[in-house]
Amino acid sequence: QQPVQSPQAVILREGEDAVINCSSSKALYSVHWYRQKHGEAPVFLMILLKGGEQKGHDKISASFNEKKQQSSLYLTASQLSYSGTYFCGTRLAGGTSYGKLTFGQGTILTVHP
Amino acid sequence: NAGVTQTPKFRVLKTGQSMTLLCAQDMNHEYMYWYRQDPGMGLRLIHYSVGEGTTAKGEVPDGYNVSRLKKQNFLLGLESAAPSQTSVYFCASGQLSGTGELFFGEGSRLTVL
């Protein structure tokens, strides 16, 4: 079961903020965020483990609400380099699918000057 | 410093032909994954492995087989290719401990005519 991301696409001007959401219908153990530039492989941004933690580096941060089975990725003061497709990946809680990591359909982020 | 290497990078097949995609990693990772990426569908998990000699089905396993005879290699096979299997295939490897980061290969573009 792929997690569901929203919105499907976002268009920003440099300096604007954006939020990308990721939700699951099942209990989650961890949420993983990746960014993919056109024609390239996805690149790891961060992982959030159950426990409701929030993480960030530079101007990109994320939160994980374990009870709601949701995660959000926050991009503040966006830069041109933030353009790309963002994917959330989820691992389910419980031991039946240990190691299984499924990704959402992606959110296309475009930052204009 | 190879990381994750996929071969071949491009391939054109006729319907009904068979082929094998090879993924090799040099980071001693336990976990390896095969995903396919199609426009608007995100990254969909085909099969994955949590260690040498083990494999498990992902979200879209039909028409594919895999093997993990050696820890560093994860093979994806198409026994009888169909046009619906035209896609970009990504292999990834990682550990669940530490950062939990997956490292992706550059992708293999497969076209089935």
- Reported as a single tens digit per residue, the pLDDT across A25-57 is 999 989 999 999 999 999 999 999 876 566 677
Query: Per mean pLDDT, which of A81-85, A92-96, B93-97 is the most reliable?
Result: A81-85
pLDDT of residue A80: 96
Other beta carbons less than 10 A from residue A79's beta carbon:
13
Number of domains in chain A: 1
Mean per-residue pLDDT, A58-79: 91
- For range A94-113, the mean pLDDT: 90
For residue A43, the chain B residues in CB contact (below 8 A) are 104
Blockwise average pLDDT, block size 10, chain B, 113 residues:
91 97 96 95 95 95 97 97 98 84 96 97
pLDDT band at A98 (very low <50, low <70, confident <90, very high): confident
Is the minimum CB–CB distance between A32 and chain B shorter than 8 Å?
yes
Measure Cα distances from B3 to A86, B29, B40, B60 in Å.
22, 10, 28, 26
Quote the pLDDT of residue B1.
63
Residue range(s) defining the domain that contains residue A15: 4-112
A54-57: strand order across its sheet: A4-6, A18-23, A70-75, A60-65, A54-57
Burial class, B11, CB count within 10 angstroms (exposed 0-12 / middle 13-18 / buried 19+)? middle
What CATH number is attached to the domain comprising A21? 2.60.40.10
> In sequence order, what are the beta bridge partners of A18?
A75
Q: What is the token pair recorded at B67?
A: 């093997």
The C-alpha atoms of residue A6 and residue A3 are separated, in whole angstroms, by 10
Contact A1 B59 (CB under 8 A): yes
All domains of chain B, ordered by start, with CATH? 4-112 (2.60.40.10)
Contact B101/A44, CB-based, under 8 Å? yes
**Cα(A1)–Cα(A4) distance, rounded to whole angstroms?**
9
